[in-house]
A and B are shown apart, each in its own frame.
Chain A
Amino acid sequence: MLSKIWKNRLEFYPFLCMYLFWFLGSFVSSLRVENRPGIVALGLITIPSLTLITIAAVKTYKELLLTGDTNE
């Protein structure tokens, strides 16, 4: 599975970008914020967006299983 994803990593770049942006820009950064009770828990508000991005990533993987590698 991982080798398949790595081989076709370019197909996952948009999702990787959003995960990285979310993880570093929001999650890790929110841990550094003081005097704002609930700022980390506020991340729950992004669940619908993250769910959609995850569905798209899984769908991309399933398509790759059906169609083969894109860079072959």
Chain B
Amino acid sequence: MKEDLPDAVSSMPVKEFDRKFGFVAYGLLILIIIFSTYLHHFQPQILSVPSMIDVSTWHNPTLEQTNIYDRMTEAERQKIMTEGIPGRGILRVVFDTQGDWMAFLLAALCFLHARRHYGFWMASCFLIGSFVFTGLQESIAILLGRFTAGAAYVDAAKQVTYGTYFFCKGSLWFIETPVAVCLSWFYIAYSCVWTAGKVFAKMGILGRATIGGLTAMGIDLWLDPVATSPEFMQWVWAKGDLIRILGINHSNFVGWFLLIFWFAILWEWLPALVRKWGHFKASIIFFSIVLASDIAMLIVLVLYNTYVVRGLLALLGLKQGIQIPIGW
């Protein structure tokens, strides 16, 4: 892709632009992370961060209103009630098998790969773009659930909801999403889209983005039930989704696919944007589209969850939500 850029763009003082872009973009991101981390750990009352020690204080959802509660044995419930979320010390949060270290290391490896193939600017646009795109999407969904109890679903579809979900563990935070999760989105999206491009080299962007999204979703089908089990509780889901797959709200898997699919398409527009507008304007346009897409994606997911899913269930003659497989 880097090779596709015309001479006019290639001959620009790219290193000088890269330096300024890196300073501003990473600087802003780091400031937001520092502020969010401070809020999360030291001023939890501002965003009503749920306590990881005393789970009886949870609200929207309470422990009883989470998917995991129904799947717990009585002994597991008592353990959570008395001891709090498992593995919440900083060393466990960072160095566990699902700890933050993995996200930081793997994101760094993928960034090096992206920089080699696409240059610093495009690699950074993928890293920061996917980080903000997914981190903002997750944070909005979490905060809407926490402060409105999923009122959008209640109003639109007379659906009983208890919130959405929230993350329990993280060292650094981007609003209410752990930085490790945002970085995981980056390296999973990058690796899966790269894999799709490698295997189906002649396929167009729509096909590659679709396969990349499905590849990531396939991996997530196993990861999520493990990560949300009582042994880890990396995050918890509120009850209320009409379709639950493997104990996870199905909108999670739809979200995985859609976010990676759409971001891959956005990112591949970058060379065209540079050709037309130059690096500076292309950066502004790209990040504006990323932010606008966040809002659009949220509306799409709410409409999908209320009207499409409910309509589908009504067509099938089902009056209640379904679980696939039953008992999970």
- Chain A positions near chain B (C-beta within 8 angstroms): 10-11, 13-18, 20-22, 24-26, 28-30, 32-36, 39, 42-43, 45-46, 48-49, 52-53, 55-56, 59-60, 70
CB pair B109–A17 under 8 Å, yes or no, is: yes
Q: Does residue B48 face the partner (Cβ distance < 8 Å to A)?
A: no
CB pair B194–A46 under 8 Å, yes or no, is: no
- Chain B positions near chain A (C-beta within 8 angstroms): 71, 73, 76, 97-98, 102, 106, 109-110, 112-113, 116, 184, 187-188, 190-192, 194-196, 198-199, 211, 214-216, 218-219, 221-223, 225-227, 229-232, 246
Q: Assuming the A-B contacts A10-B112, A13-B109, A25-B97, are A56 and B199 also in contact, with contact meaning beta carbons closer than 8 angstroms in the complex? A: yes
Residues of chain B within 8 A of A29, CB atoms compared: 97-98, 226-227, 232
Residues of chain B within 8 A of A33, CB atoms compared: 226, 229, 231-232
Q: How far is the CA of A42 from the CA of B222 in the complex (A)?
A: 6
Closest to B76 in A: A35
CB pair B219–A14 under 8 Å, yes or no, is: no
- Select which of B109, B198, B218 is within 8 A of A49 by beta carbon: B218
A–B pairs, 8, beta carbons within 8 Å = A10-B112, A17-B187, A18-B219, A20-B106, A45-B218, A49-B216, A52-B211, A53-B215
Q: How far is the CA of A33 from the CA of B116 in the complex (A)?
A: 39
Q: How far is the CA of A15 from the CA of B110 in the complex (A)?
A: 9
Q: Assuming the A-B contacts A13-B113, A14-B191, are A60 and B198 also in contact, with contact meaning beta carbons closer than 8 angstroms in the complex? A: yes
Q: Assuming the A-B contacts A17-B110, A21-B188, A28-B97, are A43 and B218 also in contact, with contact meaning beta carbons closer than 8 angstroms in the complex? A: no
CB pair B198–A30 under 8 Å, yes or no, is: no
Q: Is the interface of A mostly helix, strand, loop or mixed?
A: helix
Q: Assuming the A-B contacts A14-B113, A22-B219, A46-B219, are A59 and B188 also in contact, with contact meaning beta carbons closer than 8 angstroms in the complex? A: no
Q: How far is the CA of A24 from the CA of B227 in the complex (A)?
A: 11
